[in-house]
Homo-oligomer: A and B are copies of this chain.
Amino acid sequence: MKGSYIIDGCECDFVAASDRGLNYGDGLFETMAARDGGIEFLENHLDRLRHGAASLGLPLPAMDVIRDELFRLVPGQGRAVIKLLLSAGSNGRGYQRGGCIKSRRVVSRHEWPAYPATSATRGVAVRMCRTRLAINPALAGLKTLNRLEQVLARAEWDDPQVAEGLMMDPDGRLVCGTMSNLFLLLSGSLVTPDLARCGVAGVMRNNILQCAARMGIDTRELSMTIDDLFVADEVFLSNSLITIWPVYQIDGQTLGRGQLAQTLRSELMSGPGVVALAS
C-alpha cells in the first residue's frame, strides 16, 4: 500500500505551490491510527483540529466532509496511518492572509511504521536532544505545520536502537519527545510536562490522563527536569501510533521499570468507542 491522497475531496497528490501551508507553515495536522476499517480516537483528533483552527483563525470545513474523506482512505483490513492536513490554502503571497480564507484539506494514507514488536513490551531506549523547543504560549499545544524544531531534533541521531529523543525548552524543562508525549510515575502520581509554553498536546496524552484518572491514579501536569527521569518509578512515551512505549534507558542510563504503561495500554485500547467506524 503506497501513500494515497485526497485533496479537497479529489483524488490527487499535488497541491498548489502557492499554498500557505508550504510557504509559511500556515496550518495544522492530525496523524491517526486506522485499524480494520476504523480510526482510533477520531473524535478526539477532530476536537483538537477544531481547537487549533480556532486558535489560528482558520475556517474549518464541515466535520462530516472531513470524516467522509478520511474514511475513503481507511483500509478495510489491517493497519494504516491516516493523516489530515488543514492549510490556509492559496490566499496570497506575504504573511497577510487574503480577505476570504479558503482552507485546504489534504487527507492521506501511509503504511503503518515498522515498529519493533518489543518497543511496546520491553520498551525503548531514548536520548536527550540538543535542539530546544522555543517558548510560545500562543502556539503551545497546537499541532501546527511549523515543525522544524522536531525535524532538527530528529536529525540529531540515526542509531536505530534509539527510538526517540526527548526535548527541553530553553530553560531546561522537559517538554516531550520529538514525536511523542512523556509520562513519569513519580511517588504514585502520573506526571506529564505542562504544555502551556511549548510542545504538542497529544490526543493520546489526553486520553492517558483521563484513563489514569478513571483508574483512581493521581495525575498532574507539571514543570519537570531531566533529574526527575532518574527518580521516576516508571517512564513512558505516548502518541496516536505507538499508543504507549515504556522507556528503559536514556543516553545509556537505565531507568525504573514498572507495570503502569502496560496496564494503561490495555485499559485505553479495550474501551468502547476507541475505534470510530464510517457512519
> Which A residues lie at the B interface, using CB under 8 A?
3, 5, 7, 12-26, 29, 56-57, 81, 83, 85, 87-88, 93-97, 106, 108, 110, 113, 131-132, 134-136, 138-139, 144-155, 170, 178-179, 198
User: CB-CB < 8 A to A97: which residues of B?
Assistant: 151, 154-155
* Contacts A/B (CB < 8 Å), 7 sampled: A18-B108, A24-B148, A26-B147, A26-B151, A95-B178, A135-B135, A145-B148
Question: Which residues on B sit within 8 Å (CB–CB) of A113?
Answer: 94
Q: Are A138 and B132 in contact (CB under 8 A)?
A: yes
B23 and A13 contacting across the interface, CB-CB below 8 Å: no
CB neighbours of A7 from chain B (8 A) = 17
User: Which 6 residue pairs spanning A and B have beta carbons closest together?
Assistant: A134-B134, A25-B25, A14-B14, A134-B136, A146-B146, A24-B147
Which chain B residue has the least Cβ–Cβ distance from A101?
B155
Complex: A126 Cα to B216 Cα, angstroms: 54
Residue pair B25, A148 in contact (C-beta under 8 Å): yes
Q: Would you call A5 and B17 a contact (CB within 8 A)?
A: yes
Write the nearest CB–CB distance from A64 to chain B, whole angstroms: 22
Contact B23 A29 (CB under 8 A): yes
Would you call A3 and B24 a contact (CB within 8 A)? no
| Contacting pair B17 A106 (CB below 8 A) | yes
A154 touches B15 (CB 8 A): no
- How far does the Cβ of A28 sit from chain B's closest Cβ, in whole Å? 10
Residues of chain B within 8 A of A150, CB atoms compared: 24, 95
Contact A56–B148 (Cβ < 8 Å): yes
> Given that A152-B138, A179-B94 are contacting pairs, would A16 and B17 also be in contact in the complex, using a CB cutoff of 8 Å?
no
Cα–Cα, bound, A13→B23 (Å): 13
Looking across the interface, which residue of chain B has its beta carbon closest to that of A19?
Answer: B22
The answer on a CB contact under 8 Å between A144 and B148 is yes
Note all chain B residues with C-beta closer than 8 A to A21.
22
Given contacts A138-B131, A146-B148, contact A179 B15 (CB under 8 A): no
